[in-house]
């Protein structure tokens, strides 16, 4: 028997896998990691699971009838035919050529959103985009599901460079520890969320950093529907709020600051434009409606007026940092809490000071507040896309259902392109998109759907052509994330599962069939690319007079420290020091609390300054749908990845995703702990396992994302507990068109009758065991 231990890395951090006879039998935390993530325990089970894609497969109906719209795409009873590699490559190359020559490259939708795996060379999106660029381009996607509203709003009101810093160069947790008196966070600081960073962080630093900040005297206030959205050891004061009402709370906090002489008018005058518009709106002087005082906010948010007054006074006059977590903007009108949060921070007058001001992302991702790497990381070049067609990423179903139709986005009147071929690699829209029944209808529209996958996900089961991809453990790669401490080698640990291949090789062979092999590969293997990419990064670093070892030394050392890391003292510090010389790249050069540009777009759902606009979860029918459902990130895994792994499975109840509810609500409904419940909303339903918890605000339920979508049971949209069976497919607003999956309204009832099995992890008909 052979046994070996290999270092690896996932988005959930660096760790080691134990391999026996070509199989992963265990995991070990990195010995340097002060707080390793329990998510690593999912890997052994997922790596060799029967849901791995072992051979290329083609949906029988597509194989027999050829390309074309098919409303049966995604039918759980559909059969697949496993084929030889040469066959699938011939079919796929011919279909790509048909679509691009008949309809143009714009008809290929290659947005292919999703996290895929860590690894800078074999990163699924990068490889797909490089390939599609080589063959003439594709319709791409813009912005993210994570923070679409931040990405569109912030450049308008802070200017692009400052908006980029807000997302990618937040001051480090050590600055907070040193300078902050009070950190008020809307949307929690979930340690489980900080376990992940795109690319994977060398070691987990955010959880320990939060604890150290608290130990040094930083006070934390968490405005959230869940008490345990902050780690116990930061001893946060919990302000329990009705989800989707943060803007009302922020406006009321400003009301107290304005009316009690606590607002920093000198700061507002010098560094902002539009404060007067916000002030007269808050005071109810602009004729737009009620006075937005704490009593008004209490009626909207459920937070007692006295608590709001006390909080505003507590925030004023000391070093206060306002953090708006990304969840808060992942909802209808998600721009407003960002803009109002920034306005609140401006009223406090501490923007630009170390440890004070505004942030958006602490507690959302591990590398936020973990330093920045402005020199960049090793990067696989993707080439250029000659097609200028794009959609805002979360409008995928609208695009497929309504080609040619008009929509608004960031001041532009746009039209949806007509996508005939959808190409997905490294993402799982049947995990991530809202209203999955609608998405299924949308996936019936294109001529052909192609999916590269490691596993038979619900998305693979909506594909006509399924191409098996290797996992990170089956290929050599290197990784690091933005702000990371090291670049790390990820050597191959096990042989490929079945006939799975590295996507690079798949694309190279496809490119060959289209006469473009040389253009795609530039004469290199993926191993040679790894060396080139590393050495290019090394020269970039060397141009700044910094030094890292050559590739061979790096590979044998297994890791190198990233030179040139920075930890900024403050966001907008230069602007504060010199508002003229360091003017922002906004029309006014200042922070725009009123934006003439946004105002000129004339959007009712995003006017020229922050306002209270109740979303559908606030205005929804509370008799029919008495609960606000919070669909937050799962603590047991990353999104849908490795859902069948041991740690993720250990959280399930009767094999279903856990639904948390206040014990009082559970009692009132007569629902027993550990029972299976049916969660029903206006668009669909799912099963879940009931977990009563005092941490949940009454009237709220929590069902995290990522249970594999299972549409096989009669009478229920998803038998496994994917909250996107319930969510509404609508954009944040005409401005950003971001994802709004965080919140929806539901009712919860006992499930009676025979419990349908969870079939999500069974491969489809026609697929043989590896
Ligand atoms: N209701 C609701 N929905 C949400 C959210 C929410 O808050 N609420 N959050 C949203 C957010 S922020 C995000 S970022 C999205 C995340 O959505 P996704 O990023 O789409 O979710 P993942 O499960 O990470 O999907 C990645 C897929 O890539 C596959 N994969 C892994 N490695 C490889 C590889 O090397 N090659 C290929 N071809 N495939 C690979 C995995 O098997 C997996 O199926 O979800 C969004 N959806
Ligand atoms: N373990 C793990 N970590 C992850 C991920 C994962 O899948 N698993 N996904 C990663 C990704 S891609 C992203 S983008 C980030 C997302 O990071 P976030 O968006 O910050 O994370 P969420 O868990 O969706 O939401 C955080 C908390 O916000 C609270 N919340 C929800 N709605 C409201 C509201 O209206 N008001 C207030 N005040 N609070 C509200 C909820 O209680 C929730 O627990 O997480 C990353 N981290
Ligand atoms: Mo995300």
| Dihedral sign of CA atoms 660, 663, 668, 670 in order | positive
Is pLDDT at 243 greater than 80 in this prediction? yes
For the CA of 708, the nearest ligand: 1
Determine the pLDDT at residue 769.
84
Residues 231 and 125 in one domain: no
Determine the Cα–Cα distance for residues 520 and 134; give it in Å rounded to an integer.
6
Proportion of the chain above pLDDT 90, given as a percent = 99
Element (H, E) at 650: helix 646-650
Whether residue 3 is contained in a domain is answered as: no
- Is 303 near ligand 2, meaning CB less than 6 Å away? no
Q: Ligand 1 centroid vs 287 CA: distance in angstroms? A: 45
Determine the pLDDT at residue 743.
98
Whether residue 762 is contained in a domain is answered as: no
Q: What is the mean pLDDT of residues 71-95?
A: 97
Give me the sheet containing 320-324, strands edge to edge: 237-240, 219-224, 182-186, 320-324, 357-359
Q: Ligand 2 centroid vs 327 CA: distance in angstroms? A: 5
Which of 26-30, 86-90, 131-135, 765-769 comes out lowest in average pLDDT?
765-769
Whether residue 4 is contained in a domain is answered as: no
What are the Cα distances from residue 451, in Å, to 60, 63, 127, 408, 421? Answer: 15, 15, 13, 29, 11
Residues 709 and 630 in one domain: yes
Determine the pLDDT at residue 174.
95
Whether residue 422 is contained in a domain is answered as: yes
Determine the Cα–Cα distance for residues 595 and 600; give it in Å rounded to an integer.
8
Under the banding of pLDDT at 50, 70 and 90, the label for residue 327 is very high
Whether residue 310 is contained in a domain is answered as: yes
Residues with CB under 6 A from ligand 1: 114-117, 122, 124, 145-146, 330, 425-428, 431-432, 452-455, 457, 469, 503, 631-632, 638-641, 705, 723-724, 727, 739, 741-742
Write out pLDDT tens, residues 272-285.
999 999 999 999 99
Whether residue 564 is contained in a domain is answered as: no
Write out pLDDT tens, residues 534-566.
999 999 999 999 999 999 999 999 999 999 999
Question: With a threshold of 0.75, does the pTM exceed it?
Answer: yes
Is pLDDT at 389 greater than 90 in this prediction? yes
The vertex-14 CA angle with 8 and 18, nearest 5°, equals 45
SS3 category, 506? helix
Identify which of 266, 274, 273 has the alpha carbon closest to the alpha carbon of residue 349. 266
Q: What total number of domains does the chain contain? A: 3
Is pLDDT at 419 greater than 90 in this prediction? yes
Q: CA gyration radius for the chain?
A: 25
Whether residue 588 is contained in a domain is answered as: no
Write out pLDDT tens, residues 451-503.
999 999 999 999 999 999 999 999 999 999 999 999 999 999 999 999 999 99
Write out pLDDT tens, residues 618-660.
999 999 999 999 999 999 999 999 999 999 999 999 999 999 9
**Residue 350 is part of a domain; what is its CATH number?**
3.40.228.10
Residue 668, classified by CB atoms within 10 Å of its CB into exposed (0-12), middle (13-18) or buried (19+), is exposed
Out of 335, 370, 405, a domain closes at 370
Is pLDDT at 1 greater than 80 in this prediction? no
Identify which of 377, 259, 272 has the alpha carbon closest to the alpha carbon of residue 610. 272
Residues 642 and 688 in one domain: yes
Can you tell me which atom of ligand 2 is nearest the CA of 366?
A: 47
Q: Ligand 1 centroid vs 590 CA: distance in angstroms? A: 37
Domain region containing 742:
616-750
For the CA of 473, the nearest ligand: 1
Out of 549, 566, 590, a domain closes at 549
Mean pLDDT of the residues in the chain: 97
Out of 498, 532, 549, a domain closes at 549
Can you tell me which atom of ligand 1 is nearest the CA of 457?
A: 44
Q: Ligand 1 centroid vs 572 CA: distance in angstroms? A: 33
Proportion of the chain above pLDDT 70, given as a percent = 100
Determine the pLDDT at residue 575.
98
Determine the pLDDT at residue 641.
98
Residues 364 and 404 in one domain: no
Whether residue 629 is contained in a domain is answered as: yes
Residues 655 and 727 in one domain: yes
For the CA of 197, the nearest ligand: 2
Residues 294 and 407 in one domain: no
Residues 677 and 542 in one domain: no
- Is 196 near ligand 2, meaning CB less than 6 Å away? yes
Under the banding of pLDDT at 50, 70 and 90, the label for residue 770 is confident
Q: What is the mean pLDDT of residues 105-112?
A: 98
Q: What is the mean pLDDT of residues 429-446?
A: 98
Residues 110 and 177 in one domain: no
Under the banding of pLDDT at 50, 70 and 90, the label for residue 323 is very high
Residues 668 and 709 in one domain: yes
Residues 62 and 193 in one domain: no
Residues 102 and 192 in one domain: no
Residues 6+ apart with CB under 8 A from 66: none
Residues 420 and 500 in one domain: yes
Determine the Cα–Cα distance for residues 88 and 548; give it in Å rounded to an integer.
42
Determine the pLDDT at residue 3.
94
Q: What is the 3-state secondary structure (H, E, C) of 136-195?
A: CCCEEEECCCCCHHHHHHHHHHHCHHHHHHHHHCCCCHHHHHHHCCEEEEECCCCHHHHC
Determine the Cα–Cα distance for residues 455 and 51; give it in Å rounded to an integer.
5
């Amino acid at each position: 028997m052979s046994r070996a231990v290999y270092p690896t890395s996932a988005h959930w951090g660096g760790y080691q896998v134990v391999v026996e006879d070509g199989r992963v039998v265990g995991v070990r935390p990195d010995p340097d990691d002060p707080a390793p993530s329990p998510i690593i325990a999912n890997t052994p089970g997922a790596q060799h699971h029967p849901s791995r894609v072992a051979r290329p497969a083609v949906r029988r109906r597509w194989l027999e009838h050829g390309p074309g719209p098919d409303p049966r795409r995604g039918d759980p009873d559909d059969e697949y035919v496993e084929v030889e590699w040469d066959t699938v490559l011939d079919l796929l190359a011919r279909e790509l050529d048909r679509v691009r020559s008949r309809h143009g490259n714009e008809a290929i939708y290659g947005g292919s959103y999703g996290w895929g795996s860590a690894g800078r060379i074999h990163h699924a999106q990068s490889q797909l985009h490089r390939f599609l660029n080589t063959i003439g381009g594709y319709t791409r996607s813009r912005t993210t599901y994570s923070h679409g509203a931040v990405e569109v709003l912030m450049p308008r009101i802070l200017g692009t460079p400052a908006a980029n810093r807000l997302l990618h160069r937040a001051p480090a947790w050590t600055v907070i520890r040193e300078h902050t008196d009070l950190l008020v966070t809307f949307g929690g600081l979930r340690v489980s969320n900080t376990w992940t960073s795109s690319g994977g962080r060398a070691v987990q630093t955010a959880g320990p950093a939060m604890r150290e900040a608290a130990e040094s005297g930083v006070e934390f206030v968490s405005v959230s529907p869940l008490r345990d959205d902050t780690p116990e050891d930061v001893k946060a004061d919990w302000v329990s709020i009705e989800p989707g009402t943060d803007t009302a709370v922020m406006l009321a906090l400003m009301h107290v600051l304005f009316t009690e002489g606590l607002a920093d008018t000198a700061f507002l005058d010098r560094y902002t434009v539009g404060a007067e518009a916000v002030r007269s709106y808050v005071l109810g002087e602009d004729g737009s409606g009620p006075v937005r005082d704490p009593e008004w906010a209490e009626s909207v948010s459920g937070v007692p007026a006295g608590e709001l007054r006390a909080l505003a006074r507590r925030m004023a006059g000391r070093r206060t940092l306002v953090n708006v977590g990304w969840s808060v903007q992942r909802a209808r009108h998600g721009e407003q809490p960002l803009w109002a949060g920034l306005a609140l921070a401006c009223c406090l007058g501490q923007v630009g000071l170390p440890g004070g001001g505004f942030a958006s992302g602490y507690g959302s991702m591990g590398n936020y507040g973990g330093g920045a790497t402005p020199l960049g990381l090793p990067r696989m070049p993707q080439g250029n896309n000659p097609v200028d067609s794009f959609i805002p990423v979360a409008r995928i179903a609208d695009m497929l259902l309504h080609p040619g139709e008009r929509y608004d986005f960031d001041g532009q009147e746009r039209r949806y392109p007509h996508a005939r071929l959808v190409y997905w690699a490294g993402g799982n829209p049947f995990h991530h998109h809202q209203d999955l029944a609608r998405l299924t209808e949308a996936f019936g529209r294109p001529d052909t759907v192609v999916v590269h996958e490691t596993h038979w996900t619900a998305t693979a089961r909506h594909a006509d052509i399924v191409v098996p991809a290797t996992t990170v453990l089956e290929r050599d790669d290197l990784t690091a994330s933005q702000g990371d401490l090291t670049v790390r080698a990820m050597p191959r640990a096990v042989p490929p599962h079945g006939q799975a291949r590295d996507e690079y090789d798949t694309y190279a062979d496809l490119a060959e069939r289209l006469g473009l092999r040389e253009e795609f590969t530039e004469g290199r293997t993926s191993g040679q690319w790894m060396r080139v990419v590393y050495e290019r990064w090394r020269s970039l670093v060397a141009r700044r007079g910094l030094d890292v070892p050559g590739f061979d030394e790096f590979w044998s050392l297994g890791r190198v420290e990233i030179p040139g890391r920075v930890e900024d003292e403050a966001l907008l510090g230069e602007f504060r020091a010199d508002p003229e010389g360091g003017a922002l790249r906004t029309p006014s050069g200042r922070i725009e609390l009123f934006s003439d540009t946004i105002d000129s777009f004339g959007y009712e759902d995003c006017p020229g300054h922050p306002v209270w606009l109740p979303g559908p979860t606030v205005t929804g029918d509370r008799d029919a749908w008495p609960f606000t459902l919070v669909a937050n990130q799962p603590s047991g895994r990353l999104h849908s990845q490795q859902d069948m792994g041991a740690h993720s499975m250990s959280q399930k109840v009767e094999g279903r995703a856990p639904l948390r509810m206040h014990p009082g609500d559970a009692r009132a409904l007569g629902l027993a702990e550990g029972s299976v419940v049916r969660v029903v909303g206006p668009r669909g339903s799912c099963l879940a396992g009931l977990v009563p918890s005092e941490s949940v605000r009454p009237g709220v339920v929590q069902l995290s994302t990522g249970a594999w979508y299972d549409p096989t049971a009669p009478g229920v949209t998803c038998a496994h507990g994917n909250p996107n069976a319930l969510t509404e497919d609508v954009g944040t607003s005409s401005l950003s068109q971001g994802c709004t999956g965080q919140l929806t309204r539901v009712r919860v009832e006992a499930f009676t009758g025979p419990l349908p099995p969870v079939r999500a992890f069974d491969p489809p008909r026609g697929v043989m065991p590896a």
